[in-house]
Amino acid sequence: MNLDKAGRQTLKYLFSEYKKGPSVLYPINGISRKYGVDPVALSEYLLENFWIRECWIYSGNTVAARITIKGIEKIDPIYVRNKFDEIIEGLASAGRSKTLLEILELKIEEFTISSDLVNELESLGLVKIQNPNHSIVVELTEEGYKYYEKKSGSLLTLMA
C-alpha cells in the first residue's frame, strides 16, 4: 500500500520536474523516506509498470529517475490525451506529415517532451517516424488517421 502511495507521489513529483527539465534525472529518495519504502524497491516498482526510465542508483542508495509518457498518463491522462490530440490534429491538417521542428513550432525547449510524445504515438502505431535528408519527419499512419477521423477511441485503451 505504501508503495502505491509513494509511487503516485513520485510520479507527481517527477512530472512537475519533467515540465521544467525533461532530460534531467531527479532524485526520489525524499519521497521514499516520507512513505517508509526503500528507494530501490520504489524505482523497481515504477520501472515494472513502465512509468519511469533512465533510473540510476548512486552510492548511498540515492536513486534518480525520469518519468515516461505512460507515467505522466498515470497521474494526468488529460494532459497526455490533449498533447496526443494536438500532434495528431496538427499532422492531419498538414496533410498527414510534418517535420519534428514544425511540430515544435520552433519552441526548442519542448524538444524532449515532443520527442517523447511522438515516440509514444509511434509505439501505439498512430505515427511513423522517418529520417530523410537529416530531418525527422513524423507521418500519420492509417491507424492514426482513423483515430483522428473518429475521435472516439480512447488512447488509454490503445496504450494497454
The whole-angstrom separation of Cα 119 and Cα 124 is: 9
Please name each of the domains of the chain with its CATH number. 2-71 (1.10.10), 76-159 (1.10.10.10)
Q: What is the pLDDT of residues 16-27, one digit of tens each?
A: 999 998 889 999
Above 50 in pLDDT, residue 153?
no
Q: Tell me which H or E stretch contains 34.
A: helix 29-34
Q: Which of residues 32 and 22 earns the better pLDDT score?
A: 32
Amino acid identity of 138? V
Cell numbers found for residue 154: 480512447
pLDDT mean over 9-19 = 96
Q: What is the pLDDT of residues 54-92, one digit of tens each?
A: 889 998 889 999 999 999 999 999 999 998 988 898 888
**Cα torsion through 26, 28, 31, 35, rounded to 10:** 160
pLDDT confidence of residue 159: 47
How would residue 8 be classed by pLDDT, with cut points 50, 70 and 90? very high
Find out whether 9 and 31 touch, Cβ atoms under 8 Å. yes
pLDDT confidence of residue 69: 95
pLDDT confidence of residue 160: 43
Q: How many residues does the chain have?
A: 160
